[in-house]
Amino acid sequence: MLLRTLFCVLAAAVAYYATTQIAWALCFPDSKVSLFFPPHAVLVSILLLVPARHWWAYTLAAVTAHFIATQRANWPPIYALHCEFFDAVKALVAAAAIRLLIKSPLKALTLRDSVVFVLVAVVLVPFAAAFWGAALTIYHGFGSHYWVEWRNLGISNAVTTVVLVPALLLGAHHLFVRRPKVPTVRRAVEAMLVAASMAAIGIVVFDRTPAGPNATPPLLYTPIPLLVWAALRFGLAGISMAMLLITFQAIWGTMRGHGPFLDQSPADNALALQMFLLMTATPLMLLAVVVEEERRTKEALRLRTDLMGLAAESANAAIWVWDLSTDEWWITEHGRALFSLEPGARVNLAALLERVHADDRPARVNAIARSIESRGDYEIEYRVQHPGGEIRWLHARGRCVTSGDGSGPTLLGVSTDVTARKQAEAAAVLEREDLAHLSRVALLGEMTASLAHELNQPLAAMAANAAAAQRFLARDEPDLAEVHAILADIAADGRRAAGIIRGIRNMACKADPKRVLVDVNAVVVDVVRLAHPDAYARHCELTTDRETDLPAVLADPVQLQQVLLNLVINALDAMRSCPAGQCRVEVASRRAGATAVEVSVRDRGPGLPAGPPGRVFERFFSTKPDGMGMGLAIARSIIEAHAGTLDAENADGGGARFWFRLPAHESAVAPVTAPAI
């Protein structure tokens, strides 16, 4: 590592020595003015490439090399030492300012970075340092006009910096940091074409044109289109190389006594050449940076779009942008597939709406219209019908945004294929219904004994009444009025038995659930009637407390009966070991606030089992020896599917209270009652 650094320091010293010799060689034939002063640009570039902690070593090596060169050229040692100090400070200040103000001078240069570079390294440092440098020259007797010296020094450092520093930095970057990309044949041919044209025009303008009064200054403009070509097509690297070529051609021609820069005094000629280089290089460098910045932005945008497309594809989603003013849609490739749109075909609202299932079109159109009106978001699920007839579900989220440039609102959105979720949901509903049905049948099974007993009563009464009627008819003078009354009793008992059987059949049959307006009080009455024989058999009192004029709820009546029956049977179970006379279950209904109806079942048992109250609703939680622990879980899922809640608590005064709440339907009291049990 140390050896490598030592080698680099040595190489820097050699470069500084060599470029000093070049600077001295690049003088007009009739003057001592150096047109181009590369050592300064070389040292600044080196300092920008190496770590700041090594700056002292590189600076020392450079000025030592320069001092050796000056001594070989017989400069007065004091003057030479003074110059070394001046050069070192100048390069260090320029490098430090660039490092401080530009985040990464080697990588992606922005327009702001290049403006800072021009202001600091091309204008401020060279011309500020020139005050000191000019004084130095005059003081040691090497010049007579302070301002001429100031101007010469400032411009020569400015020109060298703008032409050489970017070229050196880019060259080093491509050589040491980033492997140079192999150009395509087309690009290589284009680069060679620019270089050859530049060389040819440079020879014509700077070497073949005679100097003096016959010179044609307008010829100076001829390289400009080529320089613009280099900047636009090859960026900063292109313009740096082109400027380097032009600079050396201009200096070479001028030094040989040719070209448009030789018709005035040597100092003025030098100034004209330097101004030409400075004024051409600076704006073209800025142009190249802008072009590169735009290219980078486009590339970043393309990457982001690809990434977005990839993300959307893996989420099976479409990402789209809809310009409302032109009805132009941009949609990801995968998105086109989701809507069965041709890969390159123009997309507009009508084309997309055509794919939306006819039943879902109004809802989608309304959601979008609301979003545009409120400049807000929308979320909707709808079906898409593909030309082959396949139907798929999409979940769309959109947002209406207005751009700052006043070009009108735009809608952005993501539409995800949720067919799999929809199918799973439908399957889950079917499963829940199956489970609920099984649980209902099990519930009825538990009640078989009491239901049989309940049926037995009317059947026995009917048999007894029929026997009595036969006896009456066997008399000599049958009392027909009596027989009539007996037959009426038989008919009533028959209806009672049929009612019980219908109730059992309703609960046991597996009909598709349907939502109708239900009067919960009717449900309470039916369930209490069904559970009554069971309660009676257990010596339990079963009472109701129904609030009148309750609003209807939109529900499946059989499922509501199932839930309530489950709660009542659980309440009766809970009071198994209750002393006779204390066994009481109350079923109550009431309004719960303005928008809900509540039905509760309260018992006088031991209360909820220890632990969190929510446990009783967990699947397979049971404290009963023969319990399955599914009843309350199913009851809760039924109530939640009706947008309601089912909960439990320990009641004041002992026992448990279970209640469910359902949203009240907007219309008044229930016009439809549950099927009779």
State in angstroms the smallest separation of the CB of 677 from ligand ADP. Answer: 20
d(CA 537, CA 539): 6
Q: Considering the complex, state which of residue 109 and residue 632 has its C-beta at the smaller distance from ligand ADP.
A: 632
From 213-221, 226-234, 448-456, 615-623, span contacting ligand ADP (CB under 6 A): 615-623
Which CB sits closer to ligand ADP, 370 or 576? 576
Contact between residue 136 and residue 16 where contact means Cβ atoms under 8 Å apart: no
3-class DSSP state of 216: coil
Of 156, 142, 122, which is closest to residue 23 (Cα–Cα)?
156
**CB closer to ligand ADP out of 126 and 605:** 605
Instruction: Return the number of the residue (578 or 674) whose C-beta is nearest ligand ADP.
Output: 578
DSSP per residue, 309-342: HHHHHHTTEEEEEEETTTTEEEE-HHHHHHTT--
Give the one residue of 608, 639, 646, 670 binding ligand ADP; rule: CB under 6 A: 608
The amino acid at residue 289 is: V
Site residues (CB under 6 A) for ligand ADP, limited to 632-671:
632-633, 656
Hey, which residues between 367 and 406 contact ligand ADP (CB under 6 A)?
none
- Taking CA 340 as the corner, what is the angle to CA 334 and CA 346, rounded to the nearest 5 degrees? 85
Name which of 560 and 656 has its Cβ closer to ligand ADP.
656
With the CA atoms of 2, 4, 9 and 11 taken in that order, what torsion angle do they form, in degrees rounded to the nearest 10?
Answer: 160
Q: Is 261 within 8 Å of 220 (Cβ atoms)?
A: no
For the CB of residue 639, give the shortest distance to ligand ADP in the complex, in Å: 13
If one asks whether residue 291 binds ligand ADP (CB under 6 A), the answer comes out as no
Should residue 605 be labelled a site residue for ligand ADP when binding is judged by CB under 6 A?
yes
The 8-class DSSP code of residue 356 comes to B
Q: In angstroms, give the least distance from the CB of 515 to ligand ADP.
A: 25
In this complex, which beta carbon is closest to ligand ADP, that of residue 81 or of residue 641? 641
By CB under 6 A, what part of segment 546-565 binds ligand ADP?
none
563-582 binders of ligand ADP (CB under 6 A): 570-571, 574
Query: Which of 624, 643, 654, 667 forms a contact with ligand ADP (CB under 6 A)?
Result: 624
- Write out 259-298 in H/E/C secondary structure: CCCCCCCHHHHHHHHHHHHHHHHHHHHHHHHHHHHHHHHH
Residue 616 engages ligand ADP in binding (rule: CB under 6 A): yes
Total number of residues that touch ligand ADP (CB under 6 A): 20
Based on CB atoms, which residue is closest to ligand ADP, 280 or 439? 439
From the list 216-224, 308-316, 343-351, 601-609, the region that binds ligand ADP by CB under 6 A is 601-609
Minimum gap (Å) between residue 534 Cβ and ligand ADP: 14
Among 123, 197, 621, 649, binds ligand ADP (CB under 6 A): 621
Query: Is residue 443 at the binding interface for ligand ADP, with CB under 6 A as the rule?
Result: no
C-alpha dihedral sign at 107, 243, 297, 118: positive
Residue from 26, 288, 603, 662 in contact with ligand ADP (CB under 6 A): 603
Stretch that binds ligand ADP, among 96-104, 245-253, 342-350, 618-626 (CB under 6 A): 618-626
Name which of 422 and 615 has its Cβ closer to ligand ADP.
615
326-364: burial string, b at 16+ Cβ within 10 Å, e else: eeebebbebbbbbbebeeeeebeeeebeebbeeebeeeb
The single residue among 629, 641, 645, 647 that binds ligand ADP, judged by CB under 6 A, is 629
Q: Does 628 bind ligand ADP (CB under 6 A)?
A: yes
Structure tokens at 434: 């199956």
- Residue 518 dihedral angles phi and psi, to the nearest 5°: -120, 140
Of 514 and 624, which CB lies nearer to ligand ADP in the complex structure? 624
Among positions 622, 641, 647, 663, the unique one binding ligand ADP when judged by CB under 6 A: 622
Query: At residue 456, what is the residue type?
Result: N
CB of 586 to ligand ADP, least distance (A): 12
By the rule CB under 6 A, 623 interacts with ligand ADP: yes
CB contact at 8 A, 436 and 638: yes
Nearest alpha-carbon partner for 469 in 456, 458, 460, 482? 482
The Cα–Cα gap between 151 and 135 comes to: 12
For 320, other C-beta atoms within 10 Å of its C-beta total 23
Cα 86 from Cα 352, distance rounded (Å): 72
- In terms of residues, how long is the chain? 677
Task: Dig out the tokens for 296 from the structure.
Answer: 């980078």
- Reading the block at residue 227, the tokens are 């320089």
Q: Does 432 bind ligand ADP (CB under 6 A)?
A: no
Q: Which is nearer to ligand ADP, 152 or 589 (CB)?
A: 589
Position 534 contacts ligand ADP (CB under 6 A): no
Per rule CB under 6 A, is residue 675 in the interface with ligand ADP? no
Point out which residues bind ligand ADP (CB under 6 A).
Answer: 570-571, 574, 603, 605, 608-609, 616, 621-624, 627-633, 656
